[in-house]
Amino acid sequence: MSNLTDAPNFFIGRSEAIAQNDKLSNKARQSLYTARAANTVDAYRSDWNDFCDWCSYHQLSSFPAEPETIVNYINDLADNAKANTIARRISALTENFDAAGLKENPCRYPIVKNALRGIKRMKGTIQHGKAPILFDDIKEMLTYLEGDEIQQVRDKAILLVGFYGALRRSELAGIDVEDLKFTRLGLLITLRKSKTDQFDQGQMIAIPMVKDKEYCAVTALQKWLDISGITTGPVFRGLTKGHHVRKTRISDKSIALIVKHYAGLMGMNPDDYGAHSLRHGFATSAAQHHVEERQIMRQTRHKSQAIVRRYIDEADRLIDNPILKITEDSH
């Protein structure tokens, strides 16, 4: 994160407008400063940095910025980014200019709104998420584990815990030993920070032991902790070239690369898969086995029923498909 801390003219989280408002008490200011979750602020900071880098390259002012600069920036961004990514980037810039206390926010000019509308019309706003890795895929994926024993044990634990826990990649990377509680029935994981836990109250994930130890996430995680000697701090860590366990936490991008790597070994297109494929795959697999919607949501921690129902509908299209009835009746 070190590259995110030095963003020039980044005001979100330390709003000048709030600081200069004499009508607010210090306590009131503090609550406003912490209104956004830390990961949201980091995402905004990253987006702001990208804009500043673009402006620097084109020798334009990022702060203050002209509306035309914003328009040219998002059109360049549109060459490689999805419409929804561009809209999020505009949101970050808008929030930062607002936090700076500018009377005229360049992002709020009609020319910027019209440019964004035009980009959305050209590119469309359908989000193409990563393909799901289903339970049968996980079982096959585990047959492709490679590297020495310590890498195989780590990768297996990452895949199984990520799948059964329906974890986001940042959640999986962020687990510490202190967040784990092993019991006779399985494992409880406390997530200190989560996308749907904006006030950092913590969320509990339960992963029971399963009969087949080959596919048991609890067993896999215990073996990883034993072989790595990790007793405190980050659970999942990177490995040196000599395959010694690092002291630092694995990055969420590394987790995505691990998933992509094994998907490729299975003969699937790595571009279609990522860390989210584990979470998506769990929800779809549960739906295929007719698990109730509320039970799926309890494990995935989705706040939106619409998203979970999309997974259920996706599974139903393959299970309750007329093709199956036609082909089965022909035998």
Rounded to whole angstroms, what are the CA distances from 320 to 235, 281, 288, 307?
Answer: 40, 18, 10, 20
Q: Are strands 203-208 and 237-239 parallel, antiparallel or unpaired?
A: unpaired
Q: Annotated catalytic, 195?
A: yes
Q: Is 73 a catalytic residue?
A: no
Task: Give the H/E segment covering residue 180.
Answer: strand 180-182
From residue 46, give the alpha-carbon distance in Å to each of 132, 274, 294.
Answer: 28, 21, 35
181 counts as catalytic: no
Q: Are residues 247 and 299 in the same domain?
A: yes
Residue 262 is among the residues annotated as catalytic for this protein:
no
Task: List, for residues 208-253, the tens digit of each pLDDT value.
Answer: 999 999 999 999 999 999 999 999 999 999 999 888 999 999 999 9
Task: Give the integer Cα–Cα distance in Å for 76 and 8.
Answer: 21
Rounded to 10°, the helix 276-288/149-164 angle is: 50
Amino acid at the residue 164: Y
For residue 85, which amino acid is it?
T
Rounded distance, CA 261 to CA 252, Å?
Answer: 14
Q: Is 53 helix (H, G, I), strand (E, B) or coil?
A: helix
Q: What is the mean pLDDT of the chain?
A: 85
Q: pLDDT (tens digit, 9 = 90+) per residue, 47-105? A: 899 899 899 989 999 999 999 999 999 998 887 777 778 888 998 899 899 888 888 99
Burial 74-106 (b: 16+ CB within 10 A, else e): beebbeebbbeebeebbebbbbbbbbbebeebb
Among residues 113, 193, 195, 249, the one annotated as catalytic is 195
Instruction: Classify 208 as helix, strand or coil.
Output: strand
Tokens 């990452």 sit on residue? 158
Query: Is residue 37, in this structure, part of any structural domain at all?
Result: yes
Q: Look at the chain and report how many structural domains it folds into.
A: 2
- Can 168 be counted among the known catalytic residues? yes
Q: Catalytic: which of 45, 130, 260, 276?
A: 276
212 lies in the same domain as 244? yes
Find the CATH number of the domain harbouring 222.
1.10.443.10
* Structure tokens that stand for 125 in this block: 């706003």
- Kindly report which listed range (167-171, 200-204, 215-219) carries the lowest average pLDDT score: 200-204
Q: Are residues 38 and 181 in the same domain?
A: no
Ranked by mean pLDDT, the top range of 27-36, 39-48, 216-225, 261-270 is 216-225
Given 45, 168, 260, 280, the catalytic residue: 168
Q: Residue 276 catalytic?
A: yes
Same domain, 153 and 257: yes
Distance in angstroms (rounded) separating the CA atoms of residues 289 and 137? 15
pTM for the whole structure: 0.60
Point out the catalytic residue in the list 154, 156, 301, 302: 302
Structure confidence at residue 200 as a pLDDT band (50, 70, 90): low
User: Is 11 inside a domain boundary?
Assistant: no
**Residue 186, domain member (yes or no):** yes
Sequence-separated contacts (24+) of 18-25 with Cβ below 8 Å:
20/101
Three-class SS of residue 130? coil
CATH of the domain at 113: 1.10.150.130
Do 111 and 164 fall into the same domain? no
Asked if pLDDT for residue 331 goes beyond 60, the answer is no
Contact between 137 and 107 under an 8 Å Cβ cutoff? The reply is no
First-to-last C-alpha distance (Å) of the chain: 60
